[in-house]
Amino acid sequence: MKMKRMLEKIMNRVGIVAMLLATGAVWAQPSPVSQVSQYPDKPIRVILPFAAGQGSDTLTRMIMTEVSKKLAQPIVIENRPGGNGFIAIQAVQHAAPNGHTILGLSSSFLSNSSMLKGPLPYDMQRDFTPILRVADSAIVLVANPAVPVKTLADALEMARREPGGLAFGSGGNATTQHLSLEMLKARSGAPMVHVPYRGDPASLNDVMGGQLKFTFSGFSAALPYIRAGRLRPIAVTTATRIAALPDVPSIAESGFPGFELIGWIFYLVPAGTPQAVIDKLYTVIRGSIEKKEVEEKMANLAMFVAPIQTPPEFKSYINEYEQKLANIIKSANIKAE
C-alpha cells in the first residue's frame, strides 16, 4: 500500500510539472495582440507593377518616405513591371499576411478581369485586403491649338460632321483614357474612332504634330504642354473642375451629368493580415498624404489627395469601379490586343 501511495504522489507531481511546462510554453509564445503592438518589427516591402521613374512610382516613393519616418522602419520599393501586373500582384498574393509586404496598384489594373481571356491567377476580392486609395488623377481631352474648337460641344459637333467618324487618340487599349473616350461616345452618340497609342507621350506628340486632332491623356502627361500652350484642354473627366485647370470644365458639366472616370493609386495587403495592422497602416499613410508639403508635391505630379474612405468603404468602391469598367468594356466590345 505504501508503495502504491508513493507512486500516486510521484505521478501527481509529474502531472503538475508537465502542466506548468505546457503553460510556460504557451506564455513564451507572443500572442497575436503583442505581435500587432510590435508592428512593424522589420523593414516593409512595397511591390509595384510600375517601372521606376513613372508617376505612380515617384508618388509611392514620396509617400513611403513619410510613412517610414512614422513607423521607424525602412521601406523598400520593389519595381516589378510586366505581365499585366501579374508579376507584382502574385508576389504580394503569396506573401505572409503580416503587413510587411504591401502592393501598390493603379485603377487601370482592375480591368484585367474583363479584358483577359481565361481565369486570372488571383482574385482581387479573395486574395487581398485594401488599405486605402491615396491619389487621384484626371483624364483630360486635349486638342491641337490650331483645331477650331474650344468646347466639348464643338468637338462632338466636329465628330458628327466627319464622314466615318473623327479619330480620337488614347494612351492604349482599355486604359482609363480609352474607357473615357468610350463612355463619352456612348453618352453622346458621336461617331468617335479610337486610335490607340503606346502610352500618352506618343499620342500627345501626334496631336502637337498635327497628325491627330484630339486625344484623351493622363493629366500629368499633358499638363506641361498645356502650360506651354502646345495643347488646348477641352474638358476633364473628374466630376468637377480641378484646381490646376480652373477654367476647363468637366465633361459632367458640359452636358453629361454624372460623367466621371479617373485614374487612382491604391495600396493593398494579402488577405488574412490582422485588422489592427491594416488600421495602423491606414492611419499612418492617411496622415502622411495629408501633410501640406506632400499635397504640394502631389500637385506637381498632377495628382491630388483622394477622398477619405475607410478600408470597408474603399473595398465597396473597388467593387463598384471594377463593375463600371466591366460594363464599359462589354458595351464597347473592347478586346485584348
pLDDT given at position 36: 65
pLDDT given at position 2: 47
- pLDDT > 80? residue 155: yes
**Dihedral angle of Cα 115, 301, 203, 242, to the nearest 10 degrees:** 90
Tell me phi and psi for residue 81, to 5 degrees. -75, 165
Mean pLDDT over 167-188 rounds to 93
pLDDT given at position 337: 65
Mean pLDDT over 54-71 rounds to 92
Q: Convert the pLDDT of each residue in 87-134 to its tens digit.
A: 999 999 999 999 999 999 988 888 887 777 778 899 988 999 999 999
Mean pLDDT over 8-24 rounds to 44
- pLDDT > 50? residue 28: no
Q: Convert the pLDDT of each residue in 243-291 to its tens digit.
A: 889 999 999 999 999 999 998 999 999 999 999 999 999 999 999 999 8
- ∠ Cα 37 42 46 (to 5°): 105
Percent of the chain with pLDDT over 70: 89
pLDDT given at position 10: 43
pLDDT given at position 16: 43
Mean pLDDT over 175-190 rounds to 94
Q: How is residue 266 written as a grid cell?
A: 491604391
Asked whether the whole model's pTM tops 0.85, one would answer no
Asked if 102 contacts 131 with a C-beta cutoff of 8 angstroms, the reply is yes
Q: Convert the pLDDT of each residue in 226-235 to its tens digit.
A: 999 999 999 9
Q: What is the CA radius of gyration of the chain?
A: 26
Mean pLDDT over 171-189 rounds to 92
Q: Convert the pLDDT of each residue in 301-322 to its tens digit.
A: 778 899 899 888 998 999 998 8
pLDDT given at position 285: 97
Tell me the domains of the chain and their CATH numbers: 44-136+263-331 (3.40.190.150), 139-254 (3.40.190.10)
Q: Rounded to an integer, what distance in angstroms lies between the CA atom of residue 222 and that of residue 336?
A: 26
The pairing of strands 263-270 and 101-106 is: antiparallel
Percent of the chain with pLDDT over 90: 59
- pLDDT > 60? residue 209: yes
* Average pLDDT of the residues of the chain: 87
Q: Convert the pLDDT of each residue in 132-142 to its tens digit.
A: 999 998 999 99
**What DSSP string runs through 276-329?**
HHHHHHHHHHHHHHTSHHHHHHHHHTT-EEPPP--HHHHHHHHHHHHHHHHHHH
Q: Looking at 28-42, 218-232, 254-268, which range is the least confident one?
A: 28-42
With CA atoms as reference, report the closest residue to 135 among 237, 320, 285: 285
Distances in whole angstroms, Cα of residue 81 to Cα of each of 50, 223, 249, 265? 5, 25, 35, 15
- pLDDT > 60? residue 8: no
